[in-house]
């Protein structure tokens, strides 16, 4: 199998969910020849995720899809918090983070995210190959995969295979990678319903009660409202039973009557991380690599950020000789597997607070539902505390300081973030005048940021993989190299040799490009 332009295939992506689509898009935009297959007959399916976090929007921005995502979603959602018989409006727009172009989370359906990514790929000549079942692989100068399309088995040769095929991943199973963790004694109930009663439309409603949390989102796909709640273990009542759903609303003191159930689904909840993220030329990302509870809206975002880390590395490695890409490819698991464990811990605590059936979480929810209404405005006024919590949920605190691509040189005394940390947005001065830093580097490339007085002899790479900017508002000497996913890879006072070695390590040196 070749890429759409007839070139040998660099990356075969299995799974056309948000993670797989993002992996294909990012790898393509960094020069890889990609194809993406999915066993489903076509794209439509019901959304299970509804939040896109700030960091996810940042990593997608260089690939030209954020404006369309923002247009389809709500970046300033209004939330009504129901605490027994009291309703507390929460203006999420007041919680604006200062160092990002996306200061709030985006309320948007997963199906819309996937549609935007598919359109972006289609515009680049890459179509999802539906009804194509991945079967197995063998490692031969890359991978040779067996896939079946309409009953016909074919072999596909590629440099790398990326499994984005969900928690039941066939790629993971055929690579012999274990799936460590277990299943929660809960399940998530999703339903599209029509309501009649005292529920303001166009607003997200969150009800806290002793037995758990109930979410009513104005994002239904077959009806106006999407219901999301955790069900107790061994609940025998069918989720399509209107009486059962009505009892859930009544217990949460949501004064509305269900007039129609258009669709419902029960989803088991897991907490797992794959024992490895890589087996030779085979990589895992998204739900194939980790599974979390939905608490905090972390799953889809973590998967897309896996793709942001992996996509450019595979594209760069495809142009390196085998063996010369060892550190670059090893860095994916060393970056992202610890990140998954951190998210797993966060979501586990949040899910315990949200749906735990023990005495302690039940008492905490009951106490908050009874006495929390006057506390909410007080808590929201604690801007620094709230902003810190939002930054954690938005994954803006994630760092790779211990990763093999994070190199801290000597003599740096400037203002840029340390190696391994996300480069924050700020207003800077360049030759063209004042502009936001994230605007300046919003292209799929390695970005070299030079302080005003730094001597730099290397030219930009002719293939566009390396771009050089002189930041006039950063005084003195300094070199900061930002990876394509927005993390600082190298930082030094004036060590151009060290910078050249780092660029050589990832395959982005101008000499290699020419």
In sequence order, what DSSP letters do the residues of 96-109 get, joined into one string?
--TTSS--S-EE--
Cα 468 to Cα 294: distance, rounded to the nearest angstrom: 40
Per-residue pLDDT at 131: 96
> In the chain, which stretches have pLDDT less than 70?
1-7, 232-240, 460, 462, 511-514
Q: Decide if 94 is inside a domain.
A: no
For 187-209, give the DSSP string: EEEEEEEEEEES--TTSEEEEEE
Domain co-membership, 306 together with 323: yes
The residue from 393, 427, 459 where one domain ends is 393
Domain co-membership, 155 together with 215: no
**Residue 472 burial (10 A CB sphere; 0-12, 13-18, 19+):** middle
Domain co-membership, 354 together with 299: yes
> 97 is written with which tokens?
């983070």
**Residue 321 burial (10 A CB sphere; 0-12, 13-18, 19+):** exposed
Q: What's the domain range around 226? A: 181-270
Domain co-membership, 370 together with 232: no
Cα 418 to Cα 391: distance, rounded to the nearest angstrom: 18
Domain co-membership, 187 together with 175: no
- CA dist list (Å): 240 to 246, 328, 361, 455: 11, 49, 28, 68
> 59 is written with which tokens?
């990593």
**Residue 125 burial (10 A CB sphere; 0-12, 13-18, 19+):** exposed
The distance of Cα 481 from the centroid of its chain, to the nearest Å, equals 23
The residue from 393, 422, 453 where one domain ends is 393
Per-residue pLDDT at 513: 42
Domain co-membership, 366 together with 468: no
Query: Contact 224/201 with Cβ under 8 angstroms?
Result: yes
Domain co-membership, 144 together with 277: yes
CATH value at residue 368:
3.50.50.60
Q: Decide if 451 is inside a domain.
A: yes
Q: Decide if 85 is inside a domain.
A: no
Domain co-membership, 266 together with 281: no
Cα 130 to Cα 144: distance, rounded to the nearest angstrom: 19
Per-residue pLDDT at 209: 87
CATH value at residue 205:
3.30.9
Q: Decide if 82 is inside a domain.
A: no
Please give the helix or strand (H or E) that residue 37 lies within, else none.
strand 34-37
Q: Decide if 3 is inside a domain.
A: no
Counting residues of the chain whose pLDDT is more than 70, the rounded percentage is 96
The whole-model pTM stands at 0.94
Cα 66 to Cα 52: distance, rounded to the nearest angstrom: 10
Q: Of 84, 80, 81, nearest to 367 (Cα)?
A: 84
pLDDT tens sequence across 280-331:
999 999 999 999 999 999 999 999 999 999 999 999 999 888 778 999 999 9
Per-residue pLDDT at 259: 94
Per-residue pLDDT at 212: 87
> 216 is written with which tokens?
């009513």
Q: Decide if 98 is inside a domain.
A: no
Q: Decide if 399 is inside a domain.
A: no
Query: Contact 449/481 with Cβ under 8 angstroms?
Result: yes
Query: Contact 137/161 with Cβ under 8 angstroms?
Result: yes
Domain co-membership, 285 together with 171: yes
> 466 is written with which tokens?
């390396």
- CA dist list (Å): 242 to 82, 246, 256, 261, 263: 21, 6, 13, 7, 11
Q: Decide if 398 is inside a domain.
A: no
Cα 311 to Cα 22: distance, rounded to the nearest angstrom: 8
Instruction: Please report which residue ranges of 136-239 form alpha helices under DSSP H.
Output: 170-174
pLDDT tens sequence across 104-151:
899 999 999 999 999 999 999 999 999 999 999 999 889 999 999 998
Domain co-membership, 226 together with 276: no
- CA dist list (Å): 191 to 166, 230, 388: 21, 12, 32
Per-residue pLDDT at 514: 30
Q: Tell me how far apart the 2 most distant CA atoms of the chain are, in Å.
A: 73
**Residue 374 burial (10 A CB sphere; 0-12, 13-18, 19+):** exposed
Domain co-membership, 382 together with 449: no
- CA dist list (Å): 136 to 154, 157, 251, 399: 11, 12, 49, 34
The residue from 235, 250, 270 where one domain ends is 270
Cα 387 to Cα 248: distance, rounded to the nearest angstrom: 32
Domain co-membership, 133 together with 27: yes
Q: Give me the number of domains the chain comprises.
A: 3
- Measured CA angle at 472 (ends 467, 476), to 5 deg: 105
Cα 418 to Cα 489: distance, rounded to the nearest angstrom: 9
CATH value at residue 456:
3.40.30.120
Per-residue pLDDT at 148: 97
């Amino acid at each position: 199998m070749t890429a759409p332009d007839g070139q040998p295939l660099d990356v075969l992506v299995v799974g056309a969910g948000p993670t797989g689509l993002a992996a294909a898009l990012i790898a393509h935009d960094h020069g890889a020849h990609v194809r993406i297959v999915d066993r489903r007959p076509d794209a439509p399916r019901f959304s299970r995720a509804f939040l896109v976090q700030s960091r996810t929007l940042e990593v997608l921005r260089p690939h030209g899809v954020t404006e369309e995502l923002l247009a389809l979603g709500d970046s300033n959602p209004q939330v009504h918090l129901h605490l027994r018989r009291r309703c507390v409006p929460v203006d999420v727009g007041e919680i604006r983070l200062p160092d990002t172009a996306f200061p709030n989370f985006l309320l948007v359906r997963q199906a819309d995210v996937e549609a935007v990514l598919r359109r972006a790929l289609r515009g680049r000549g890459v179509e999802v190959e539906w009804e194509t079942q991945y079967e197995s692989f063998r490692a031969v100068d890359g991978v040779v995969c067996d896939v079946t399309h309409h009953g016909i088995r074919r072999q596909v040769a590629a440099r790398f295979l990326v499994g984005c095929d969900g928690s039941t991943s066939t790629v993971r199973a055929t690579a012999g990678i274990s799936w460590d963790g277990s299943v929660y004694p809960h399940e998530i109930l999703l339903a599209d319903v029509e309501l009649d009663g005292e529920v303001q439309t166009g607003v997200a409603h969150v009800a806290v009660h002793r037995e758990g949390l109930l979410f009513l989102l104005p994002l239904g796909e077959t009806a106006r409202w999407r219901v999301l709640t955790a069900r107790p273990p061994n609940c025998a009542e069918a989720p399509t039973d209107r009486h059962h759903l009505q009892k859930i609303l009544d217990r949460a003191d949501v004064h509305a009557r269900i007039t129609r159930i258009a669709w419902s689904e029960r989803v088991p909840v897991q907490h797992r991380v794959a024992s490895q993220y890589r087996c030779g030329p085979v990589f895992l990302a998204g739900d194939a690599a980790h599974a979390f509870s939905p608490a905090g809206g972390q799953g889809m975002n973590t998967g897309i950020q896996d793709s942001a880390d992996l996509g450019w590395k595979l594209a760069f490695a495809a142009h390196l000789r085998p063996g010369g890409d060892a550190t670059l490819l090893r860095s994916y698991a060393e970056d992202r597997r610890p990140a998954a464990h951190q998210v797993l811990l966060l979501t586990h605590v949040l899910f315990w607070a949200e749906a735990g059936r023990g005495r302690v979480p039940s008492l905490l929810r009951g106490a908050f539902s009874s006495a929390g209404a006057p506390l909410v405005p007080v808590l929201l006024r604690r801007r620094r505390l709230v902003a810190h919590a939002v930054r954690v949920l938005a994954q803006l605190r994630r760092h790779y300081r211990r990763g093999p691509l994070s190199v801290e040189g000597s003599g740096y005394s400037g203002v840029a973030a340390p190696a391994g940390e996300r480069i924050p947005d700020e207003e800077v001065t360049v030759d063209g005048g004042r502009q936001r830093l994230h605007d300046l580097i919003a292209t799929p490339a390695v970005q070299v940021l030079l302080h005003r007085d730094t001597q730099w002899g290397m030219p930009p790479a002719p293939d566009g993989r390396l771009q050089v900017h002189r930041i006039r508002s950063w005084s003195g000497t300094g070199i900061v190299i930002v990876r394509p996913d927005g993390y600082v890879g190298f930082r030094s006072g004036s060590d151009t040799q060290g910078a050249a070695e780092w660029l050589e390590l990832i395959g982005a040196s101008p000499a290699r490009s020419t």
